[in-house]
Amino acid sequence: MKDIALIFPGQGAQKTGMGKELFEQSSAARAIFERANTRLGFDLTDVIFNGPEEKLMSTAFCQPAIFTVSIAAFEAFRSSLKCSGVRVRYAAGLSLGEYGALCAAGVIAFEDGLDLIRQRSSFMEEAAQAAPGKMAAVIGFDNDRLQAICLEADCEVANYNAPDQTVITGQALKVAKAVEMLTAEGCRKVIPLEVSGAFHSSLMRPAAEKFAAILKPEAFRITDIPVITNVNARPQTAVNEILANLPKQICSSVQWVDTVRFIAAQGISDMVEIGPGRVLKGLIRKIDPSINVQNIQQPADIDALVFAS
């Protein structure tokens, strides 16, 4: 039996048409799309497959869309013969992807996950409109110095994505100031991100507080598959930990580098990225090149899975 970890992508991985082959070729995946349409009360599947792109890119649609496609891919994998030879030891996801991890681990039901994501995205959009902000990816710059610049510019670190890729967040003028300082110190690349707000910053605290108020302990359960939280890159072993960490995740830094390193330190050398895109595979290659990362975006990817003995 091969031990693996499942990892799930976050917002930004979406694209029109994602998951269509899963819908057409896997009955287990198709059932997830249909359950999403029923729960949400509109045809999310049509938006995913046909757009328009600007609609799919909006937070209100892209978050449930990525979650739905990811769980559809997971169910297709779980119903396949390839799943019979592996044991899932850990699950984790990048930001929004943590909900995919929680669902795949059996901690929350799919419909409950959709409800939480719909409310989470709504609260985040409200916070973004009340306090507009920006985000930018910083490539190839010393993290200690970056943190000092953020402190001086009064912005924050949103994501520790890879050793050479960190995302900063905050009020637009403060992020601009940080970018100016980074450029002056020779930072080779800063990429402004096309997002609607300063996610994973203190500007999202109102969203976190509203989200905490709607969480219900009975919707969560601890299972045999620990989910590594973005907040501190450690497994959650009690429901009260999850209830505390999910709101905190909205306004604190995503510890993705430490998450990957923690899982690898437990002896896991195979990870399966489940859902749209290959962003996590690229990040993990930079964090720990020894980890074998494979992707599941369509049924053919499941057939192509090969795990080291």
Q: Which residues pair with 7 in a beta bridge?
A: 92, 273
Q: How far apart are CA 286 and CA 280, in angstroms?
A: 10
What's 88's domain CATH number? 3.40.366.10
Q: How far apart are CA 235 and CA 244, in angstroms?
A: 13
> Which of 151, 173, 192 is the last residue in one of the domains?
192
pLDDT by residue for the chain (309 residues), tens only, comes to: 899 999 999 988 889 999 999 999 999 999 999 999 999 999 999 999 999 988 998 878 999 999 999 999 999 999 998 888 899 999 999 999 999 999 999 999 999 999 999 999 999 999 999 999 999 999 999 999 999 999 999 999 999 999 999 999 999 999 999 999 999 999 989 999 988 899 999 999 999 999 999 999 999 999 999 999 999 999 999 999 999 999 999 999 999 999 999 999 999 999 999 999 999 999 999 999 999 999 999 999 999 999 876
Nearest partner of 160 among 95, 245, 244, judged by Cα: 95
Ordered DSSP codes for 240-302: HHHHHHHHHHHHS-B-HHHHHHHHHHTT--EEEEESS-SHHHHHHHHH-TTSEEEEESSHHHH
- Known catalytic residues are 95, 200
Domain enclosing residue 11, as ranges: 2-128+202-303
Residues in contact with 264: Cβ distance below 8 Å, sequence separation at least 6, in sequence order: 288, 290, 291
Q: How far apart are CA 208 and CA 199, in angstroms?
A: 11
Residue 61 shares a structural domain with residue 119 = yes
Residue 121 shares a structural domain with residue 236 = yes
Residue 216 shares a structural domain with residue 100 = yes
DSSP 33: H
Q: How far apart are CA 27 and CA 156, in angstroms?
A: 44
Classify 90 as helix, strand or coil.
strand
Number of domains in the chain: 2
> Which of 144, 174, 192 is the last residue in one of the domains?
192
Q: How far apart are CA 71 and CA 209, in angstroms?
A: 27
User: Is residue 41 domain-resident?
Assistant: yes
> Which of 148, 164, 192 is the last residue in one of the domains?
192
Residue type, 98: E
Residue 109 shares a structural domain with residue 215 = yes
pLDDT given for residue 309 in this prediction:
64
What's 138's domain CATH number? 3.30.70.250
Report pTM: 0.96
pLDDT given for residue 171 in this prediction:
96
Classify 126 as helix, strand or coil.
helix
Q: How far apart are CA 72 and CA 115, in angstroms?
A: 17
Residue 284 structure tokens: 């993990």
